[in-house]
Every structure is written in structure tokens, then in C-alpha cells.
Amino acid sequence: MTLFLNNDHIAQVLDMGMAIDVLEDAYRDYGKGSATCVPRVDVQIPTGSSGKTYQFGTTIGGSTDKYLAMRIKSDVMFEEESDGLRRKGKYCVEPGLYCGLVFLFSVENGEPLAILNDGLLQKARVGADSAIGVKYMAREDSSVLGMLGSGGMARMHLDAFIKVRPIRKMKVYSPTPENRKAFANEAEKKYGIEAIAVNDPNEIYSGADIVAACTNVIGPVVQGKCLEQGTHVISIGGTLDQAASSRIDVSLRFGNAPAPQERPDFVVTEECLTYVAESAGKVSYGGTKKFSNIPPDKQVSLKDLMKNPSLGRTSFEQITFSERGNLHGLQFYSVAGKAYERALNKGLGTRIPTDQFLQTIRN
């Protein structure tokens, strides 16, 4: 039987500690050569509505340890302005609805094992990813978090950071006062930390050991002039401004997807590859190499850092940064695979006869 797992099912089996552990294992497997992935690929086609572009996104990854996963997204993309900044908006069918699915397969016999909603998996794998960056690069005594953003991704990141550092205080800013206040109140009740909603985004940097931008802003959002010595920086959505990039002392990039065997010289360092219908021009909502202005001599890979921790942070004063690179596929097979195993053990999900997905005609 093939399982369909919706977000309600996944909420019962997914926890941040698990996500961090399986992601770290996936990165180790990739470093050993027993896992692989392809860069994220987006296809953009103009819609009949001005300013809106259809985008279909895919990412694939798998390992000798049981699973391959393909994550797909089907979105209508557009830009909107809020708080004086351009932001990325999206929906499927109508605003407030989204379509993202993870297809999980067995690498032993090709069986379609599960189809999973990607909503919680997506947030968990990104939060876990950022927590691994904090684990390897932030100061061990990091206890103050400066957060830009108050949505689901920001909440997942706070949960992840608390797993790897002794967070005792958070300062949060987002454009809507009610949202940032609600997040602060929730954080105090859930984690017993001091949480302050601030009225100026620049206030989150003061005294922060970790600065995390979890926003949907298009363009620079992390301000280098505000960064203090010893800070570790993460940017999920939005980018570092040039001043921030120039102040990074050591940058952890988890790695790049491998080149195809037929083109060993074709190493993709961009976050994703974007293919656009000619009539759409060059409108793109994600196919950029966001952190390319950090010099290569300041970057270290996770594979090398795991072998030699001295390649990372070496002093209290250093400003550090971490980002995944384009290894999205590794995240989905590992987190979705573990969620599937737990759901199977608990009897969760809707069972679909596997023969519905099989055919007698050779493809």
C-alpha cells in the first residue's frame, strides 16, 4: 500500500530533534558518496493575469539508505509591497491555498511508498538546516536571538535553535505589530524565554548572538551596519546587503549538488536553475545565487568542517554565516523518509493500493 500523509498526520510524527538528526546524517552520507541530489529546478510560464507567473518547482534526492524523494510545488507567483519592501507572494488555485507534495520511493524496488503534503516538512527541514549551521558555527554560549519575521518559518527556527543553543531571549520584528506581539507572547509561554516585540527592525541586532531573517522579502534584508561582533547570521528569504556580506569572517556553505556524469565540468552553485518561457521575459522569483558576494576564500563546506572544526569559527569576535547551498533534495528524502516510517508504525495516513500507480505497459 502507498500512504498519503497530510499535514495533520505529519504533525503527529515530526519533531525538530528528529529533523536535525536525519538531516545531519544525510549530509554525512552525501559527503561519503552514498547520497546524491540535483539542484532545484523551477519552470516559469506567464499567466493571463498581469504581474503573475506560474512556477513549477522540483527537487530530487536519494541515498543508498532506503529512499529517494521528489518534492514538487505548483504556484502562481507575484510581487507585492509591504513596509516599503518588495515581497514574494504565492498561491495555488486561490489565495490562501498551496500545492506542495513529496513523493517518496524505495531505492530497492522503485515502489511508490508515500505521498506527503510538504507544508510542515518544508518548514522543519529549513529550520533543522539552520540549526545545523548554528550548531557548527555559532558561539556555544549563544543565548540571545534577533529575529526578522513572525510567521511559521520564524516559529520553526526558534524551535530549532533552542535544540542546539541555550536561547534565553528573543527580540522579534515583523511589519505587522499584532503578528510580532503574538509571536513574542507565544514564545514566552511555550519556551519560558524572554521575548520582546520591537518596533524597529534594526533593534533586533543589539546584543544578538544569532540573527535570523525568516522573511519573504525580495532583496537585501540583513543590514551589515547593524551586525555586532560575534554574531552568527542566517537569512531564509531575503539576502545580506553588501555591508553584511563584507563583514562575514567565515561562511559555512553546506555544499553544491554534484555535476552530472555526462558533464563533470557543469557544477551548479546557484540556489536553483530557472527555465522561463520566452514570452515571460526574465521574470524570476528564485533562480539567483543569493550569497555569491561572500568571497570563496571565506567559505567552508560542511563536509570539510565535520572533518576539521578549526575551519569554522575560531574566535569570539568573528561574524559567521551559514546557508544550505543547493542540497534541497537531501533534506526531503531524509525528513520525509523518517516521517513515513513513524507514520507507518502508528498506523497513520490514507492507504492507496500501490497497483493504482503501476502499469503493464513498459515506459
- The hierarchical CATH code for the domain 2-122+329-357 is 3.30.1780.10
Supply the DSSP string of 210-265, one letter for each residue.
EEEEE--BSSEEE-GGGPPTT-EEEEESSEE-HHHHHH-SEEEEEE-PPPPTT-TT
Residue 63 to residue 69: CA distance in whole angstroms: 9
Strands 53-63 and 40-46: antiparallel
Higher pLDDT, 189 or 79: 189
Strands 239-240 and 220-222: parallel
Every domain of the chain and the residues it spans: 2-122+329-357, 138-270+285-325
Task: Identify the weakest region by mean pLDDT among 4-8, 76-80, 250-254.
Answer: 76-80
pLDDT at residue number 36:
96
Mean pLDDT, rounded, of the chain: 92
Q: What are phi and psi of 180, to 5 degrees?
A: -70, -35
pLDDT at residue number 180:
96
Q: What is the DSSP letter of 92?
A: B
Give 82's pLDDT tier (boundaries 50, 70, 90): low
Closest Cα to residue 170, out of 204, 131, 221? 204
pLDDT at 77 over 60: yes
* Structural contact between residues 336 and 60, judged by C-beta atoms closer than 8 angstroms: no
- The hierarchical CATH code for the domain 138-270+285-325 is 3.40.50.720
pLDDT at residue number 269:
83
**Close Cβ partners of 110 (under 8 Å, ≥ 6 residues apart):** none
127-143, pLDDT tens digit by residue? 999 999 999 999 999 99
Higher pLDDT, 57 or 48: 57
pLDDT at residue number 80:
78
pLDDT at 287 over 70: no
**Close Cβ partners of 47 (under 8 Å, ≥ 6 residues apart):** 53, 54, 76
